[in-house]
């Protein structure tokens, strides 16, 4: 992108102008799912009665190869993407994942390379991931209470297993660690203050997420949603907190700090306070489908183009076409009770990451 330069002069790098959608939202973030498999069966994502031991996940040949993923990521970066996040399923189940991280790290223009995980395999992979160039991790942990957590994760995994993963990530330098907790009324909401207390003063940032109607099989009910304002009030009653500004435009979490200086926490309020208007995220499924919304029902097929020897400019045109046509604002429409009938057929969260 920069012009040629004689010895001794400074090359000027032109600023990439991001692609914008029909509502003038720029394309800045790409979430890349590397597998649809997971070693947990969380009730709000992959309930075990549906994703049983005989469930058929994607075959190996259906998954994008590392080379295909990197090629798509380069095209996205050329279109203005600054941040890449690796998701799943559980991404650490993808064989040789540190190799992919190193390949993505080598792409010029990537400002932030992160990964979302349930943390179980982090003791094995945290150090190799950091060495490969990963910047940070977000770990899912829905309760600090063993009984509650085991019921929610569907596999009887204990809290300490995830805490060991968080410690491994901290020791490897993959911080600050963010911890995502999906809150459901009468399931784990009574433990929200205890979860906040566990990580106060540790440098980790807990983010409480309103239970969302992602996919079609998680049994979502609006009365199971605990609005973030209620959670803030509960926490503030024990630990005084105050709002702080976003780190960047379009940040989905509302940030708060403990007034005694013990760190920060966040709230993601897709149901009670939709943030569609600032959404800059695209999602790539493990089989190469481009989704422009977490609540989308279908994606643009990039894998066929890749495997049909399409040149990069054709890939770029397809990506740009999909993003420029984007009018997604599901959460705002849900809040206004104006969803169309076809919105009931939504892609499952494990297929494209959270």
CATH number at residue 64: 3.20.20.70
Residue 226 in any domain: the answer is: no
Work out the widest C-alpha separation in the chain, in whole angstroms. Answer: 67
Residue 164 in any domain: the answer is: yes
7 contacts: CB under 8 Å, gap ≥ 6? none
Q: What is the pLDDT of residue 9?
A: 40
Residue 19 in any domain: the answer is: no
Q: What is the pLDDT of residue 18?
A: 76
Q: 114 near 86, Cβ under 8 Å? A: yes
Q: Residue 27: phi, psi to the nearest 5?
A: -95, 110
CA distance 25 to 219: 31
343 contacts: CB under 8 Å, gap ≥ 6? 295, 297, 330, 333
User: pTM of this prediction?
Assistant: 0.91
Phi-psi region of 253 (alpha: psi -120 to 50; beta: other; left: phi over 0): beta
Q: Is 46 helix (H, G, I), strand (E, B) or coil?
A: coil
Residue 127 in any domain: the answer is: yes
CA distance 324 to 257: 37
Could you tell me the residue range of the domain that residue 116 belongs to? 29-174+276-352
Q: What is the pLDDT of residue 191?
A: 98
Give how many domains the chain has, as a whole number: 1
Q: What is the pLDDT of residue 215?
A: 74
Q: What is the pLDDT of residue 214?
A: 82
Residue 217 in any domain: the answer is: no
Q: What is the pLDDT of residue 339?
A: 61
Q: What is the pLDDT of residue 13?
A: 40
Residue 225 in any domain: the answer is: no
Low-confidence ranges of the chain (pLDDT < 50): 1-14, 341-342
């Amino acid at each position: 992108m920069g012009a040629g330069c004689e010895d001794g002069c400074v090359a000027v790098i032109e600023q990439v102008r991001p692609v914008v959608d029909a509502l003038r939202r720029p394309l800045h973030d790409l979430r890349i799912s590397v597998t649809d498999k997971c070693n947990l069966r969380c009730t709000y994502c992959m309930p075990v009665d549906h994703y049983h031991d005989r469930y058929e996940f994607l075959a190996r040949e259906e998954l994008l190869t590392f080379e295909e993923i990197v090629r798509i990521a380069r095209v996205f970066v050329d279109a203005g993407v600054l941040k890449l996040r690796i998701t799943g399923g559980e991404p650490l189940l993808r064989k040789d994942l540190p190799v992919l991280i190193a390949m993505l790290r080598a792409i010029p223009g990537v400002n932030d390379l992160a990964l979302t995980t349930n943390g179980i395999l982090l003791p094995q992979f945290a150090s190799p991931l950091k060495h490969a160039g990963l910047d940070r991790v977000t770990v899912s942990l829905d309760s600090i209470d063993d009984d509650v957590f085991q019921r929610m994760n569907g596999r009887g995994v204990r809290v300490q297993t995830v805490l060991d993963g968080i410690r491994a990530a901290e020791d490897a330098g993959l911080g600050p660690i963010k911890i995502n907790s999906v809150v459901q009324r009468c399931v784990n909401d009574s433990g929200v203050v205890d979860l906040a207390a566990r990580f106060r003063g540790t440098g980790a940032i807990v983010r409480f997420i309103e239970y969302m109607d992602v996919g079609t099989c998680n049994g979502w009910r609006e009365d199971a949603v605990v609005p973030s304002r209620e959670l803030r009030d509960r926490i503030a009653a024990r630990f005084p907190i105050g709002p702080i500004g976003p780190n960047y435009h379009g940040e989905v979490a509302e940030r708060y700090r403990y007034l005694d200086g013990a760190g920060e926490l966040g709230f993601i309020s897709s149901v009670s306070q939709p943030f569609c208007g600032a959404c800059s995220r695209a999602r790539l499924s493990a089989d190469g489908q481009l989704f422009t919304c977490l609540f989308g029902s279908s994606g643009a097929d990039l894998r066929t183009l890749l495997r049909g020897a399409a040149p990069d400019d054709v890939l770029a045109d397809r990506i740009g076409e999909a993003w420029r046509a984007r009018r997604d604002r599901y959460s705002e429409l849900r809040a206004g009770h104006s969803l169309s009938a076809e919105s009931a057929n939504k892609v499952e969260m494990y297929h494209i990451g959270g």
